[in-house]
Homo-oligomer: A and B are copies of this chain.
Amino acid sequence: MATFVEPRLPRGMRDIVPQKMILRRYVIGVIEQVFERFGFEPLQTPALELAQTLMGKYGPDAEKLMYAARHRDGKEDLALRYDLTVPLSRMVAMNPELVKPFKRYQIAPVWRAERPQKGRYREFYQCDADIVGTSSMLADAEIIAMIFTILRELGFQEFVTKLNNRKVLGALGEYAGVPPALLGGLSRALDKLDKIGREGVREELRKNEIPAESIEKILNLIALPVDDLATWREKFRAFPRGVEGINELEQVLQYTRAMGVNPARLQIDLTMVRGLDYYTGPIFETVVTEPKIGSLTGGGRYDGLIGLFSKNPLPVTGASVGIERIIDVMQELKMFPDNLGKTVTQVLVTVFDAERRAQSIALTMNLRAAGINAEMWYDDDGLGKQLKYAAARGIPYAVIIGPDEAASNVATLRDLATGEQQQIAQTDMAAVLQEKLRHL
């Protein structure tokens, strides 16, 4: 075998140790359960896709971040998936027999070579739920209601969904007479309104070579009250796409209300853009306002994507839950339930000496058969070292079978938090521990 190799991770990658995995699994568990309550089912697609499947779907900024992959037989240009949306579209196009609507979720890693920075990794999980095969705004509304349910069940108190529609963004350009080739620049400028203000947007539009006349029209338009949909509809009278977008916004509002979503929690934001090229209809981001931590999730409708892979295009809408950010925030704000613990192990069965080992082994197996997560000690070490191990790991209980205990088929059960000890018949140990663990 090889000689010494420096153990290193690739740039921007990480290992997730058990203590953190416990938190991670909790969050994934809650999300999965809500997805299923809303009628979404699990789907798995491979991490590697043909490069041609992924390229040209996200826009040039995204493509720069993709990893290429290849087997030495050299027959296929592959790439690691950048999101779960394009793979879903490819999969649906390949399987026309799928019953529609097709509602799937997928919780899986994606890869993006973003500049490494705190809390940002190049492999991270996406949690996506999408509805394939309906143009009804009821589907878009349901996605928003589901996101609210997820955030609430994770313990977030207050959130607001910012809602826009790509058709409205498109109509804005038409209305202002922006040449189609410059629409990308218009979107990028508008998206910064919150950060750079009106004058910043004006400057940005100028830089993007948008005609002065168009700039004035746009700035006037976005000064209109966003909630006054009747006025917007009037403005867009000559631009059917814009009217359609406004009508869709209205329907989403109406349906979310029927689902019990408080209307105060839905804010129309006609300058919100969202990054990816493939959106075509409603787009949204849900922002947690209490605690104040910003956008944790977003999504939208992309009715054109499957059509790139199939002669039978199908409408799709969906959302992605920002699980990595959620885990970080929940940890920072200590939002995880107390009883999650540092370890899944519930008891360490110590080994007093070689002679007593067989009893410790038998008791360990006995506890496991009763469904208790039990470890035993492998080596010939003193009790002190074994108990220190249990404490370091955060294991709540230890069992000791010394010579006295062994002789009378009992064992000492020690609560490692309080130091309390009691002697229990070995045959009763599983039942006693089960009872104690129930109250932990």
Residue ID in chain B nearest A73 by CB atoms: B113
Judged by a CB distance under 8 angstroms, whether A62 is at the interface is no
CB-CB under 8 A for A71 and B76, given A7-B90, A46-B10, A362-B260 = no
Tell which of B44, B52, B345, B357 touches A5, judged by Cβ atoms closer than 8 Å. B52
CB-CB under 8 A for A109 and B373, given A41-B345, A68-B69, A70-B67 = no
Residue contact A8 to B48, C-beta cutoff 8 Å: no
**Can you list 17 A-B contacts (CB < 8 A)?**
A5-B52, A9-B49, A10-B50, A11-B76, A15-B43, A21-B42, A21-B44, A37-B372, A41-B343, A48-B80, A67-B71, A68-B72, A69-B69, A71-B113, A99-B393, A138-B361, A255-B361
CB-CB under 8 A for A308 and B5, given A344-B41, A375-B103 = yes
**In the complex, chain B residues whose CB is within 8 Å of the CB of A136:** 378-379
A341 to chain B, nearest CB (A): 11
Tell which of B2, B24, B91, B142 touches A308, judged by Cβ atoms closer than 8 Å. B2
Residue contact A1 to B278, C-beta cutoff 8 Å: yes
Judged by a CB distance under 8 angstroms, whether A16 is at the interface is yes
**Copy number in this complex?**
2
CB-CB under 8 A for A101 and B378, given A73-B113, A309-B7 = yes
Residue ID in chain B nearest A92 by CB atoms: B7
Q: How far is the CA of A277 from the CA of B101 in the complex (A)?
A: 49
Q: How far is the CA of A107 from the CA of B131 in the complex (A)?
A: 28
**In the complex, chain B residues whose CB is within 8 Å of the CB of A139:** 378
**In the complex, chain B residues whose CB is within 8 Å of the CB of A15:** 43-46, 91, 94-95
Residue contact B67 to A43, C-beta cutoff 8 Å: no
Residue ID in chain B nearest A42 by CB atoms: B21
Judged by a CB distance under 8 angstroms, whether A123 is at the interface is yes
Q: How far is the CA of A104 from the CA of B91 in the complex (A)?
A: 34
**Interface size on A (CB < 8 Å)?**
107
Tell which of B4, B67, B104, B361 touches A18, judged by Cβ atoms closer than 8 Å. B104
CB-CB under 8 A for A259 and B344, given A7-B309, A43-B17, A378-B138 = no
Judged by a CB distance under 8 angstroms, whether A196 is at the interface is no
Judged by a CB distance under 8 angstroms, whether A217 is at the interface is no
What sequence of 0s and 1s flags, for each residue 59-70 of chain A, a beta carbon within 8 Å of any chain B beta carbon? 000001111111
**In the complex, chain B residues whose CB is within 8 Å of the CB of A36:** 344-345, 373
Tell which of B21, B68, B149 touches A70, judged by Cβ atoms closer than 8 Å. B68
Residue contact A67 to B39, C-beta cutoff 8 Å: no
**In the complex, chain B residues whose CB is within 8 Å of the CB of A287:** none
A264 to chain B, nearest CB (A): 18
Residue contact A75 to B138, C-beta cutoff 8 Å: no
**In the complex, chain B residues whose CB is within 8 Å of the CB of A99:** 389, 392-393
Judged by a CB distance under 8 angstroms, whether A384 is at the interface is no
Residue contact A345 to B258, C-beta cutoff 8 Å: no
Residue ID in chain B nearest A125 by CB atoms: B44
Residue ID in chain B nearest A44 by CB atoms: B16
Q: How far is the CA of A78 from the CA of B46 in the complex (A)?
A: 18
Q: How far is the CA of A64 from the CA of B72 in the complex (A)?
A: 8
**In the complex, chain B residues whose CB is within 8 Å of the CB of A361:** 138, 255, 258-259
Q: How far is the CA of A22 from the CA of B44 in the complex (A)?
A: 11
